[in-house]
Structure 1
Amino acid sequence: MADREAVRGASERGRDAPGSGRCTVVVLHGGKAEGREPARPWQPAALRMRPFATALRRALPSRSAEVVPVRYRYRGWNGSAADPLQDTLLALDALAARDGDRPVVLLGHSMGGRAALRAAGHPTVRGIVALAPWCPEGEPVAQLAGRELVILHGDQDRVTSPDASWRLLTRAREEGAVASGVRLTGGEHTMLRYAGMWRRLAVGAVTGLLGAGPLPPEVAEGFTAPEPVAVGAGRATRTG
């Protein structure tokens, strides 16, 4: 397993130092496996991420930090076309053209989590926070080498598989990612149950990866725990 501080030190060379405030969070909403109908901002998958974006804007300094939601062209992943991934990479390229190597953290839910994981190899990406990500078997992980990764997944999710998330986390660590897993006991896919806990952990993970605040204790523990840290009923315990 890669050491978090060593990876962070390497990633900061040539970038804005953490806490300097110059940073961007790219927010990626969910979708579905197939679908060429246009993605709209009032659809539930997009609305689901608005409270996270709002909380991040409050948590980060507005003069030098930016929260950027990506609107996909289509609602579906669409097989090998991987349309949301292409949209994410285009957005990252546009931000890099404007801001140079300003560090980016990707925050994605469900299909957006899959897009975030796939886009991790972009040179501006410092870290990824994936919420209940869609992790089909055989997803690539080489692009996660040297990146900081946090996966949050509810154990009652019936849409995407928490076990698949933990398998991907293990493979990412083997590839050289610095990764933390947190299991929300009783949490489900929409993130409505325990919504406050989802937001606290996600926002804290993003600001922590950017060096703009401390990591939530559960997320910090997850970087060194061999298994995902289980959170529920107001306290954290290790799974296993």
Structure 2
Amino acid sequence: MGRAVVARAVDIAVGGAILVLPSGEPVSSRGASLLAHARMLPLARSLAAAGAADGVVAHVVRYARRGWNGTEASLASDARWAAEEIGRRYGDVPVCLVGHGMGGRAALHAADHPAVTSVLALAPWLPEDDRAAGPEPVRQLRGRRVLIMHGTNDARTDPELSFRLAERAKKASRDICRFEVHSDGHALRQHHAEVLALAGDFVLGSLLERAYSRPVADALAAPPPLGLRMPLAAGFGRSLRP
């Protein structure tokens, strides 16, 4: 798992941990991708810096293997191992899983770890429903706060699949919402500032039991499909500054 991406003051106890999960590949026995790891560092640093004064730490998970590998679900297994490692390093602290692409799927699957209290899935890679394998599981999301964010122009992971998952998950847990980033693609670069602001609002609100911004609170409270097709407004985050 490695060191925290932003050092905290030694006199501040750890109050929560963020595990950032890079994307991967459908099938591969190769080791972790250094490029995928590097792509998640800016997000991890942003979240860690925003929560440092409250003792929040962030780690980018380095997978043993970069492939999901069918029923092995290797990335989800590594996410659970990392959540266990958080407990060994910092004690009984809440954990938020933040994943992008296939890392988003790993975050959703690994929500069953008892230390995990919240999940942020960015443009999650989700397979089409497979009759043999069955639909993606959602029961593990009960008791967790979940936010899914997806660009409407994502050409790599289908935003409609994340909506369908959110729709099923909402029946298992009311604390789930989904935001659509209109005109943005898989990397969510076009509205990068708004994406970072929404991520920070949800992650730190979940870990530190802070009040969410009005859009997040409304999305969590709204019945489907309204709370699952919430648009991420341009300029989100600027209105949150003092």
The aligned counterpart of 1:23 is: 16
Give the number of aligned pairs.
214
Matched residue, 2:85: 94
Match of 2:197 among 197, 200, 217: 200
Q: Distance in 2 between matches of 1:103 and 1:171?
A: 25
Residue 189 of structure 1 aligns with which residue?
186
Match of 1:79 in 2: 70
CA distance in 2, matches of 1:177, 1:100: 28
1:108 paired with 2:99, answer yes
Pick one of 64, 69, 89 that aligns with 2:60: 69
Q: Residue 212 of structure 2: SS of its match in structure 1?
A: coil
CA distance in 2, matches of 1:92, 1:231: 29
Name the CA distance, whole Å, in 1 between partners of 2:173 and 2:145: 10
Contact 1:74–1:84 at 8 Å: present in 2 too? yes
Q: Deviations over 1:42-64 (max 9, x none)?
A: x1x22221111111121012572
How many Å separate the matches in 2 of 1:186 and 1:217? 23
Shift of 1:127: 0.5
- The answer (yes or no) to whether the contact 2:15–2:208 under 8 Å persists in 1 is no
In the alignment, is the contact (CA less than 8 A) between 2:139 and 2:172 conserved in 1?
yes
Aligned to 1:180: 177
Paired-residue identity, %: 36
Query: What amino acid does structure 2 have at the position aligned with 1:34?
Result: V
Which runs of 5 or more residues in structure 2 are unaligned? 1-12, 130-134, 237-242
Q: Equivalents in 1 of 2:78, 2:23: separation in Å?
A: 13
Which residue of 131, 141, 145 corresponds with 2:122?
Answer: 131
Query: How far apart, CA to CA, are the structure 1 residues paired with 2:155 and 2:144?
Result: 28
SS in structure 1 at match of 2:29: coil
CA separation of 1:63 and 1:230: change in aligned 2, threshold 3 A: closer
The CA deviation at 1:190 is 1.3
Q: CA deviation at 1:215?
A: 2.4
Assess if the C-alpha contact under 8 Å between 1:60 and 1:212 holds in 2.
no
Separation of aligned partners in 2, 1:224 and 1:213: 16
The 8 Å contact of residues 123 and 148 in structure 2, kept in 1 or not, is answered as yes
Could you tell me which residue of structure 1 aligns to residue 232 of structure 2?
A: 231
* Deviations 1:81-140, CA, capped at 9 Å, x for gaps: 111111111111122233332111111111111000001011101100110111223110
Partner of 1:5: none
SS of residue paired to 1:61? helix
CA distance in 1, matches of 2:197, 2:180: 14
What pairs up with 1:140-219 in 2 under 5 angstroms? Answer: 140-211=137-208, 213-219=210-216
What's the secondary structure of 2:97's corresponding residue? strand
TM normalised by structure 1 equals 0.83
The residue type equivalent to 2:84 in the other structure is D
> TM-score, normalising length from structure 2?
0.82
TM-fit CA distance, 1:80:
1.2
Which 5+ residue runs of structure 1 have no aligned equivalent? 1-19, 236-240
Counterparts of 1:130 and 1:139, CA distance in 2 = 14
* 3-state SS of 1:49 partner: helix
Aligned AA (2:173)? G
Task: State the superposition RMSD in angstroms.
Answer: 1.9
